[in-house]
Amino acid sequence: MSEEPQDEFLRPGRYIDSDHPAIAAFAAETAAGAQSPAEKAVKLYYAVRDRILYDPYVRLDTLESYRASAVLAAGRGYCVGKAALLAAALRALRIPARIAFADVRNHLATPRLLSLTESDVFVWHGITELRLDGRWLKATPTFNLSLCEKFRIKPLEFDGASDAVLHPFDESGRRHMEYLVEHGSFADVPAEELRRIMAAAYPRLYARGSGGDFAREAASLG
């Protein structure tokens, strides 16, 4: 018998390592009390969004930055790592999940980040996709609430019934993010390929020693 299409989105992967004990514990603790898959998914979304800090200065040259369990242990990660963590936690609760990618233009990065990327286009931005009630939904847990408040960006909400993709405008009506190119969906993070892509697109950001305090940078823009 051939496997159902969603089976590969329930199995643990090398980077979406849903079988890691810490992932299983995080998912179970976070979803405690939730009854339906949608309620569990919403709880997981907000936990990853707000408890795991967004950090674009993580080491892009190390594979651990792309691994869900490592992001959970660090308490911070960039978009791909956070999307992988949400997908892993969902799978740990038997909710099919995968990771998708798109190039985006971000108008509200900090001056230092822009100086390191030398572009306002961020390639292969990570997005979690999950299957609920027979439909695939997009959920983007990238920017934690405290960071949104510093940037004056509307926090991205997820209700378990509709896509949650980044708002095109901030609270002042300024353009925030545009989706440019979609790269499709994957059962696991293509980490080796992403390392090559990031090294070519952002050699300064990719280089060791580019770390910084993104939240502090955002706060100083006020």
pLDDT tens figures, 116-131: 999 999 999 999 999 9
Q: What is the pLDDT of residue 221?
A: 79
Q: What is the pLDDT of residue 27?
A: 98
| Beta bridge mates, 179 | 104
Residue 216, in any domain of the structure: no
Single pTM value for the model? 0.94
- Residue 135 in contact with residue 218, Cβ under 8 Å? no
Q: What is the pLDDT of residue 26?
A: 98
pLDDT tens figures, 37-55: 999 999 999 999 999 999 9
Q: What is the pLDDT of residue 12?
A: 97
Cα(100)–Cα(126) distance, integer angstroms: 6
Range of the domain at 98: 7-211
Residue 220, in any domain of the structure: no
Q: What is the pLDDT of residue 170?
A: 72
Burial label for 133, CB within 10 Å (0-12, 13-18, 19+), is exposed
Give the residues of the chain that fall short of pLDDT 70: 1-6, 208-210, 222
pLDDT tens figures, 60-90: 999 999 999 999 999 999 999 999 999 999 9
Residue 103, in any domain of the structure: yes
CATH of the domain at 89: 3.10.620.30
Q: How many beta carbons lie within 10 A of that of residue 179, not counting itself?
A: 14
- Residues contacting 216, CB < 8 A, separation 6+: none
- Residue 141 in contact with residue 128, Cβ under 8 Å? yes
Residue 76, in any domain of the structure: yes
Strands (E), 23-164: 53-54, 76-77, 97-106, 121-132, 135-139
Instruction: Single out the residue of 129, 113, 122 nearest to residue 189, CA to CA.
Output: 129
Q: What is the pLDDT of residue 209?
A: 58
Residue 77, in any domain of the structure: yes
As for how many domains the chain has, the answer is 1
